[in-house]
Amino acid sequence: MPRKKNENTGPGAPLWCLSYGDLVTNMLVFFVMLFAFSTINPVKFQQIAYSFVIALGGGMGVLPSNPVFSPPMPVPPEFIMQGPMTVAQLYSSLSGVKQKIEKEYGAGTVEIVQAENEVRVRIKGDVLFDACSAFVRPNARSLLAMLVPELVGAQREGYRIYVEGHANYTTATCPGFVDDFDISAARAVNVLHYLRSLGVDDSKMAAISYGDNILVSTKEPAKNRRVEIAIRRE
């Protein structure tokens, strides 16, 4: 007699599918957790994307199927990678310091001059020193201190600082000094020493004496007595 089939057994998947389904589910959960733990900085991502666009000139990419940006995609200012401080940026920053100095010491105390590869801070000698003296006046030290953050920042950007002394006395009658060259040298060195005491790197500074060889006025000798701080990109 033929054997009867078990009537309680219905259609269904093999038992191994149960283990396979558990494995796939566990892998899905695992990758979802990895994605959840990962973080994407959108600013960094767009900076990288825009850098590729700039490098390719805003045009076709490596593959012909890539899109063409015509005209070149504009780059938002916040995504532009900042480079070294330019001379124009340094001039603008020092101009802001000049306004603060003039509020305390009066208009015309400091002059900011921009050249091709440098910015000069021209300070009246009569503000920094007493007559025939090379010592920085105590009430003028805060003036130099206002410049220190800009000088330190410029050094970090690759600039060197030259402290230049200029003098213009009618006769060499200042006690202890031979001539204008001598007193302007002492003044430049003393300003350098004070800036160094405030944190300016002396390995990127130099003191220079010009005496009365470079005049800014032939009618007003007092204007020629000055200290110029040249912040120069070599």
pLDDT at residue 211 is higher than 70: yes
- Side-chain-side CA neighbours of 32 within 13 Å: the count stands at 6
Whether 36 and 132 share a structural domain:
no
User: Same domain, yes or no, for 49 and 162?
Assistant: no
137 and 55 inside one domain: no
Domain of residue 130 covers 87-233
79 vs 18: CA distance, rounded Å: 51
Over residues 81-93, the mean pLDDT reads 82
Question: Which CATH number does the domain housing residue 229 bear?
Answer: 3.30.1330.60
pLDDT at res. 109: 94
Which tens digit of pLDDT belongs to each residue from 28-62? 877 777 776 666 666 556 666 665 555 555 544 44
- Please report which confidence band the pLDDT of residue 151 belongs to, taking 50, 70 and 90 as the band edges: very high
Residue 162 falls inside a structural domain: yes
Q: What is the pLDDT of residue 9?
A: 52
**pTM of the model as a whole:** 0.64
Q: Are 77 and 50 in contact (CB under 8 A)?
A: no
- Look at residue 107 in the predicted model and tell me its pLDDT: 92
CA 79 to chain centre: 17
Tell me, yes or no, whether 68 and 114 share the same domain.
no
DSSP 103-142: HHH-TTSEEEEE-SSEEEEEEEHHHHS-TT--SPPGGGHH
Note the pLDDT tens digit of each residue in 90-133.
999 999 999 999 999 999 999 999 998 999 999 999 999 998 89
The residue ranges of DSSP E strands in the chain, in sequence order, are: 110-114, 118-124, 159-166, 205-211, 226-233
pLDDT classification of 187: cutoffs 50, 70, 90: very high
How would residue 70 be classed by pLDDT, with cut points 50, 70 and 90? very low
Q: What is the C-alpha to C-alpha distance for residues 129 and 139, in angstroms, rounded to an integer? A: 10
Comparison of pLDDT for 188 and 26, the residue scoring more:
188
Element holding 146 (H helix, E strand): helix 141-156
